Chains A and B, each alone.
Chain A
Amino acid sequence: MNPKYNPALYWFAVLTAFTTFLLIGLGGLVTSHEAGMSVPDWPTSYGYNMFALPIKFWTGGAFFEHTHRLLASGVGALTTVLAVWLWLQDPRKWLHWLGVAAFVLVVVQGILGGLRVSWHLDYLGVPHGAIAQTFLILLSGIALVTSRWWINSAREKQITVPRGLRSHVLWLTILIFIQLLIAATMRHQHAGLAISDFPLAHGKIWPDTSATAIANYNAARVETINLNPITAFQVVLQMVHRLVAVLIFLGVVAAAFLARKKLGGGDSLTKSAWLWTALLVVQIILGIATIMTNKAADIATLHVMVGALSLLVGALWWFIAARRTALTAIALTGQNKPD
């Protein structure tokens, strides 16, 4: 049975994905404010049922951590409804299982976040961040395949997207995901800025990472919050983050030019690639601002959110390109159209 566009289901999927994006932002605020351990118990909060914590305790770091938990519960509920809705109403079996995968992922994500607090396993913050990004892509993908465009695209003539361009965007998207893993590792060191100047790094093109230099960096900085001392590993990690950022930017610009050449300037994927480039420009400015403001929590969190959006644009671009190409190939061979 062919799927029919269900606007209610589509907009519900969009709502779930958008709420997840906000949740990533709130999670970013938790880490930016170094508030991840401010409520030491889980699933209770200060010994109260999480949903009944008196508002007088929603202060300081606990405000960010507690509201993150509440919004996460909301995303869990939305995802559960979405999975059941897909299973009951959409004829596509593979989409049923995507809904189940989203449900499993949100449960795993919740447990991971809880264990990070209750078992004091700070390093779980990195996979918690990585799963959040994957989950956002999954939900946005579900929203895409329930959209009017996806369902009707099988009936419309499509322009194929060359394999080279698709591969370029796919590898670029994977590189952005790796960049987000590097960023999550940096943030979960809880050491603030390992390098606090830009464009130089501790006054040099490549910073000194000797033990003496690291001791000097730590002695010179005046921490106003509970940061760990910086290490040579963290200094190198920030340098890698800077270099990968340059690579990604060049890659995205190249993707936009390639798309214009192969698909034409008016193609929606070409326009999306230019939008992606603009997003990367904003992201680089935010990265620089993060350093210039000594990692101001709001700026650093915006940097996290635009990073998540950059990954999402790459992933959705690739999904759409793959869909168009598959439909074109099928039209040429006269096979049944995919759902």
Chain B
Amino acid sequence: MKKILSLLVTTAFAAIQFSRAADLSGVITFKGAAPEEKELTPIKEDATCSTYYSGALPKTQHYIISAKGELANVIVVVKGVPAAKSTGATATPAVMDQKGCLYVPQILAVQTGQKVVVKNSDSCVHNVHTVPKENEMKNVVQMPGGADLEFTFEKPEPFLKFQCDVHPWMFGYVTVLDHPYFAISGTDGKFTIKNLPPGKYTIEATHRKLGTKTAEVEVKEGGAAQDFTFEPK
């Protein structure tokens, strides 16, 4: 009986929280001059990968900044949400494709237990090699036209590297979090974190190269906004 009551109270509490849930949104900008991206010249030497690029070769994507200074690939995380826990097991899998001998996208964020599906859209062999610090390392070959590979991670970890050692210019990063309160800024610098219960939180915005900025934010029922500005190191 006690268990049923406890479950009812928890469900009711969650329902009330959810009904009052709000969004946190903002824009990430960059002021200053970022290091210049470099052309991925080794692609020229690869018989298959070079066929994907008849014109200019692709460049590195460490700093994706729009003409207006909006910064992409910043991972914004809300810290200290009460009773926050991973919903990764039921979350939609995140997808990372290998296309044109590049990872697309090169930055992802998932929850613990959430699937990361790695596709191979290329006509050459890749190996998908994870280089974690906290989670288990894996290294799997993926033939052209081969089945999608699935990865899950049990422990939170920032910027867990995925790399192909056949084509060493191919690398991407997956940040693993143990709750769903995060977002990645798009090419317009914008991010939105949905369904936050009202309250006061610490927000962390992390760019792989530029480090972390924090802010204290009060999220009210109508939502909240918080922008971040990064500068060169």
Contact = CB atoms under 8 A, between A and B. Distances in A.
Interface of A: 33-41, 46-47, 57, 59-62, 65, 120, 215-216, 218-226, 228
Contact of A226 (B41, B137, B163): B163
Interface stretch (B72-80, B111-119, B121-129, B213-221): B121-129
**Which of A41, A60, A219 counts the most B-chain CB atoms under 10 A from its CB?**
A60
Given A34-B165, A40-B127, A59-B125, A224 B41 contact: yes
Majority SS at the chain B contact face: loop
Which 3 pairs between the two chains have the least Cβ-Cβ distance? A38-B165, A219-B233, A226-B163
A215 B211 CA distance: 8
Contact of B42 (A120, A216, A224): A224
Interface stretch (B31-39, B82-90, B91-99, B177-185): B31-39
Interface of B: 35-38, 40-42, 46-49, 60, 62, 124-125, 127, 129, 131, 137, 139-141, 143, 161, 163-171, 209-211, 232-233
B209 A38 contact: no
A41 B62 CA distance: 31
A224 B166 contact: no
A32 B48 CA distance: 21
Contact of B60 (A65, A216, A222): A222
A65 B124 CA distance: 17
Contacts of A46: 125, 141, 143
B46 A59 contact: yes
A205 B165 CA distance: 35
B166 A35 contact: yes
Nearest to B143: A46
29 contacts: A36-B165, A37-B139, A38-B127, A41-B141, A46-B141, A57-B125, A59-B46, A60-B166, A61-B166, A61-B168, A62-B125, A120-B137, A215-B211, A215-B233, A219-B209, A219-B211, A222-B35, A222-B37, A222-B38, A222-B60, A223-B62, A224-B40, A224-B42, A225-B169, A225-B171, A226-B165, A226-B171, A228-B131, A228-B161
Residue with the greatest number of chain A CB neighbours at <10 A, chosen from B137, B141, B165, B233? B165
A216 B167 CA distance: 27
B137 to A, nearest CB: 5
B233 A60 contact: no
Contact of A62 (B60, B129, B166): B166
B168 A59 contact: no
A85 to B, nearest CB: 38
A226 B125 contact: no
A35 B163 CA distance: 11
Contact of B169 (A59, A120, A226, A228): A226
A35 B143 CA distance: 17
B232 A219 contact: yes
A216 B46 contact: no
A228 B129 CA distance: 13
A38 B169 CA distance: 13
A59 B166 CA distance: 7
B165 A224 contact: no
A120 B139 contact: yes
Contacts of B165: 34-38, 61, 65, 226
A54 B129 CA distance: 22
Contacts of B129: 37, 40
Nearest to B48: A59
A215 to B, nearest CB: 6
Contacts of A37: 127, 129, 139, 165
Contact of A216 (B127, B141, B143, B233): B233
A70 to B, nearest CB: 17
Residue of B47, B48, B125, B127 with most chain A CB atoms under a 10 A cut-off: B127
Interface centre among A41, A120, A228 (most CB of B within 10 A): A120
A176 to B, nearest CB: 29
Given A47-B141, A62-B125, 10 more contacts: A33-B168, A34-B165, A40-B129, A60-B166, A60-B168, A218-B209, A219-B210, A220-B35, A222-B60, A224-B40
